[in-house]
Amino acid sequence: MTIYPDDYGGNFRWQSTNDIADGEKLHRSWAFDMQPGDGLLFHTDHVPGSELNRTDQTRFAISFRVSVERPVFPNLHFHPYIHAGWHDSGLLRPIAQLPAMAQPSYVRSFAARLRNKAFPAMTPAEPGARLPEAIGHPVGAAEGMIEVPLAEVPVGTVRGVTPALCVARLSETEAVALTRRCPHAGGDLANGWVMEGTVVCPWHNLPFDAETGRSACTSLPALRRVACEIREGRILIDPAVVLNRPEREPGVEAAE
């Protein structure tokens, strides 16, 4: 389970795919394990997202929302609720949703959601779309090397080098350059962070080993890791030199 406490009430731009737009930076999340049989209660103001894929086996999550009193609907929170008492009555059943829906906060959040659907933020692939942050500069066009000022990547952070590459600063003396797009659903790893030798994707909190580029999801390919070194206040990256095997290991079956 992943929770983004510092993003409560955040108003993000979205892509037409319903994914958060590039450049919209989530704050660092809290993540913890849940076991079969565990339950988690949210205040109705809190919107739990449901997509998470960090196991190597299929699992099912069944969730429903119960509100002790009439729910309130903060930003983009407009899940339909049914008045349990009215729902049990044959007479009031057809309008059992009204007590929750007929309130200004529901109408406002529903309108905002419609607006986002009608005018989604553009993805970088679309013409005219804003490119995500990229702080790398070519060094010597012939060699195809890229450099990034070391000061731009504090320890523990990840930054976008090019639209395809990001760099993660593991320690004072170590940095790694990896594929920027998460192979799970395309999250921008440049918005992620470093945690105990891994680079964590901000969308579903999946950690990728910084050395191998692999995650716990055997159904996902590893991130490509390319040559990268810290030298004289700069991070030098050679995208042509791949240091790991980004493909799946032969014989490892994708989880269904």
Determine the size of the site formed for ligand FES (CB under 6 A): 9
- Quick one: which of 185, 195, 227, 230 contacts ligand FES (CB under 6 A)? 185
Q: Is 206 in the site for ligand FES (CB under 6 A)?
A: yes
Closest CA to 215 of 238, 244, 241, 240: 244
- Quick one: which of 71, 187, 213, 239 contacts ligand FES (CB under 6 A)? 187
Within 8 A by CB and 6+ apart from 168, the residues are: 153, 157, 158, 175, 176, 177, 178, 189, 192, 194, 199, 210
To 5 degrees, how large is the angle CA 191–CA 196–CA 197?
80
Q: Is 214 in the site for ligand FES (CB under 6 A)?
A: no
Q: Which helix (H) or strand (E) holds 200?
A: strand 198-200
Minimum distance, C-beta of residue 204 to ligand FES, in the bound complex (Å): 3
- Quick one: which of 178, 182, 199, 235 contacts ligand FES (CB under 6 A)? 182
Distance (Å, rounded) from C-alpha 84 to C-alpha 75?
Answer: 24
- Residues facing residue 10 across a β-bridge: none
Minimum distance, C-beta of residue 198 to ligand FES, in the bound complex (Å): 12
Q: Is 100 in the site for ligand FES (CB under 6 A)?
A: no
Question: b/e for 196-214, b at 16 or more Cβ within 10 A?
Answer: eebbbbbbbbbbbbbeebb
Cβ proximity to ligand FES, 44 vs 198, nearer residue? 198
Cβ proximity to ligand FES, 29 vs 44, nearer residue? 29
Query: Which residue stretch of 64-72, 94-102, 177-185, 243-251 sits at the interface with ligand FES (rule: CB under 6 A)?
Result: 177-185
Look at strands 207-209 and 193-195 and give their pairing: unpaired
Cβ proximity to ligand FES, 83 vs 184, nearer residue? 184
Q: Is 255 in the site for ligand FES (CB under 6 A)?
A: no
List interacting residues with ligand FES (CB under 6 A): 182, 184-187, 201, 203-204, 206
